[in-house]
Amino acid sequence: MASSSSSSHPHGSLTNPEVKYDVFLSFRGEDTRENFTSHLYSALSRESIETFIDNDLRRGDEISQSLLDAIEASSISIIVFSERYASSRWCLDELLKILECKKEYAQIVIPACYRVDPSHVRKQTGNFGDSFLKLGERFPDKMQSWRNALTEAADLSGFDSRVYRTESALIEEIVNAILKRVDDTFQSENEDLVGVRLPMKEIESLLRTGSTNVYKLGIWGIGGIGKTTIAGAIFSKISRHFAGSFFARNVREAEETGRLGDLRQQLLSALLNDGNVMNFPNIDLNFQSKKLTRKQVLIVFDDVNHPRQIKDLVGRLDLFASGSRIIITTRDRQVLANCEVDEV
């Protein structure tokens, strides 16, 4: 059975210090945006894996700087090869950047061939090759670098949809491989941090995982003492026990930069396991309330400095199903009082 590309360390000695995303998804929108890629993104979001997906329509041939930056800011890139992937200069230039980051930062690269023969990708043959040759008529100077990149990527260990009975089985396999990579990275980065294990044990006890009510826990302290690290360690350890989970990072910053609406979409998409939420930026939160009341969830609201931010993201904290757990990290203890947390 296929598995992700191997590397003993997710990041090499030249690790990019500006990592923002766990996963970057490279795909041809017309082929897979409404099916496979959407379902894969939803599954990754459900596991609270920070994933960059381009939701804008791609215009023209030139790849945008924002996408190049997003690739460089990712730990893992998944390349969804579809039959017409190589008909897009945009996709192929993404591929070049991904392989550059693999070389420079030891970025993990995982190819997933969706309804296309991996050998056709490797050798640029079949319908895949026909699309590639047609594009090459317009950009002959790029052909060799693109050929080399396609061959290199297809030679990496990855996934072939043809060997899976269902699409959901393929997605589950990919997500599990990503989860292992993310977990390994987190453990590697935090195993030597002083003072994390003891607070984790205490917080796990306070979370009362056997309790049936909605339990709200606050982590309070000055900046830089490890609130986010501890919350992340707890989240990584217990999130799989919940029907839905999400780590809302840097809530204060999201509000200050006007991205709170984007964060809400990501949260709803993850908790509801519905990638279509991402396509409706003005969706009414109340419209989703009934669905949320049936979900036992784990949510971390990181770096909150006003209760309205949580209200804007999810409405009321008591609307979730019994057994849900809410963790709030903040530098302002009054925020926790106003949110009526059960323990600080």
Residue 263, both tokens: 């964060």
28 to 83, 91, 189, 316: CA distances (angstroms): 9, 7, 33, 38
Label residue 164 exposed, middle or buried (CB < 10 Å: 0-12, 13-18, 19+): middle
Residue 165, both tokens: 């009975």
* DSSP state letter for 115: S
Phi, psi of 245 (to 5 degrees): -150, 150
Residues assigned a catalytic role: 94
> Alpha-carbon Rg of the chain, whole angstroms?
21
Phi, psi of 330 (to 5 degrees): -160, 160
Neighbours of 249 (CB within 10 A): 20
Beta-strand relationship, 215-220 and 159-160: unpaired
Q: At what angle do helices 285-293 and 260-272 cross, to 10 degrees?
A: 30
Neighbours of 247 (CB within 10 A): 21
State the Cα–Cα distance between residues 97 and 70, nearest whole angstrom. Answer: 10
